[in-house]
Amino acid sequence: MKEVFSTDKKRVRMAVLGMGRQGQIHSKNIAYKIPEAELVCVSDISIERAEKVGIEGVELYDDYKEILERDDIDAVVIATSTDTHEQIIKETAEAGKDMFCEKPIALTLEDIDEVLDIVDKAGVKFMVGFNRRFDPTFMRVKEHVIDGNVGEPHIVNITSRDPKPPHLEYLKVCGGIFFDTSVHDFDMARFLADEEIVEVYAAGSVLVDERIGELGDLDTTMINFKFANGAVGSINNSRKTGYSYDQRVEIFGSNGCAVGKNERPNQVELTNPEGTHKDVPLYFNIERYPEAFFGEVKAFVESVYNDEEPPVTGEDGRKAVVLSIAAKKSYEENRPVKVSEIG
């Protein structure tokens, strides 16, 4: 993606919908760090929450539809709750505005296909928020693959574990662990290996909180998968580590192995008679991925500003959900599932 900003070109006038944690982050990145963009307004169903953005000159709304009616808004960031994405994407496309949306696009494949068809017919730019592609550590792993330092990828291993479970109200609407957590890791596997996954086998349990099981969900999962070229991989997810946020990737190939390790608040090691000690990894995604959150929105803005295709498309979002559906089916039927069975 080009990083070109010309004072002769009009800045991208933007709005952010949803002022939860993610919306607040995107708003501040747009307002303070991206010269190609101008944050014009934000919305949230709670005007009090919208007020917390605290950016001078930004207009506040409690109804996002009023923003979509404005002719002076070029692009929209959708950071509302998961269950609202489908409808808001459709309305934003029909309003003729380019958009960045947090995953997932929708919760069923049929709904995703309908949404992408509407977006395509509207001719607007659409980017899905898989932020980990823009993390400097994981980008460096990808560079080693591109440069041939790893050789032909043979094995991709991904660890993604949260420090503690989300609150139950979130768990009721997030779609389940395969769609809320594993979906990021499926995208990362495709991104790192530059290959399509063709088969998955998922196992899981409720080991952290029985209330998660009562919602029909899992909190501990292991997914094995196979790429189209014969390479294999694994994803392990947990809703609770008990120590911190555990985010690691490994890609092993014919020439070498590239490993992306956890980020820590400092690089100090203490060695004494009891052993060698480090601080625990950064606590959660807000602390772990600030550069990634900035990078993904910057990439979206640049795609609009330079009239280019966004680096993470609606089709990327669809493929990750297809893999999540396959993982869920595999768990429920206790068998390997070919992705072709899903679509």
pLDDT tens track for 231-252: 999 999 999 999 999 999 999 9
Using an 8 Å Cβ cutoff, are 338 and 199 in contact?
yes
Q: Indicate if the pLDDT at residue 165 is higher than 90.
A: yes
Confidence band for 1, pLDDT divided at 50, 70 and 90: very low
How much is the pLDDT for 175? 86
Closest by CA position to 75, among listed 293, 305, 290, 291: 305
How much is the pLDDT for 334? 98
* Higher per-residue confidence, 261 vs 6: 261
How much is the pLDDT for 83? 86
Count helices and strands (H / E) in the chain.
13, 15
Q: Indicate if the pLDDT at residue 343 is higher than 80.
A: no
User: Any alpha helices (H) in the chain, and if so which ranges?
Assistant: 21-33, 47-51, 64-68, 85-94, 109-122, 136-146, 168-173, 177, 183-193, 210-214, 285-288, 290-305, 314-333
272 forms beta bridges with 275
Q: Indicate if the pLDDT at residue 311 is higher than 70.
A: yes
How much is the pLDDT for 101? 98
How much is the pLDDT for 9? 78
How much is the pLDDT for 330? 98
Q: Indicate if the pLDDT at residue 312 is higher than 70.
A: yes
Average pLDDT over residues 190-208: 98
Confidence band for 8, pLDDT divided at 50, 70 and 90: low
Cα gap 50→96, rounded to integer Å: 24
Average pLDDT over residues 331-342: 98
Confidence band for 7, pLDDT divided at 50, 70 and 90: low
How much is the pLDDT for 283? 94
pTM reported for the whole predicted model? 0.93
Cα gap 300→311, rounded to integer Å: 8
Average pLDDT over residues 9-34: 96
**Average pLDDT, whole number, for the chain?**
95
pLDDT tens track for 172-188: 988 899 999 999 999 99
